[in-house]
């Protein structure tokens, strides 16, 4: 996992991936932050989505289990690199 410049400490953000499936809008979002120079997902419990995961019998997967599956999926995506690229492109506001 790539590091972030030391000046990025205290930086947080959110990522939302949006698409469609069978003409239905779908979305998955999560909050991230820079911790010890690394971009990390802040809380598995705060993953937001309008996707309902189901078991083979079509009964709904409990939310806590669905969040674990979504976390594993999120961790397979290149979102950190995209967040870092975005951070490096945008000048930080001076306070």
- The segments of the chain whose pLDDT lies below 50 read 1, 95
Strands (E), 36-71: 38-41, 48-49
**Mean pLDDT, the chain, whole residue set:** 83
Q: What confidence score (pLDDT) does residue 77 get?
A: 87
Predicted structure pTM score: 0.71
pLDDT score, position 91: 60
Q: What span, in angstroms and rounded, lies between the C-alpha atoms of 61 and 78?
A: 26
End-to-end CA distance of the chain: 29
Can you give the pLDDT at residue 85?
72
């Amino acid at each position: 996992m790539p590091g972030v410049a030391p000046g990025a400490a205290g930086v947080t953000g959110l990522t939302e991936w949006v698409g469609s499936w069978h003409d239905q809008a779908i979305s998955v979002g999560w909050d991230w932050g820079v911790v010890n120079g690394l971009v990390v997902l802040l809380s598995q419990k705060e993953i937001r989505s309008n996707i309902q995961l189901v078991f083979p019998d079509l009964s709904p997967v409990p939310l806590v289990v669905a969040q674990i599956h979504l976390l594993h999926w999120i961790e397979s995506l290149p979102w950190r690199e995209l967040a870092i690229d975005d951070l490096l492109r945008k000048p930080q506001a001076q306070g």
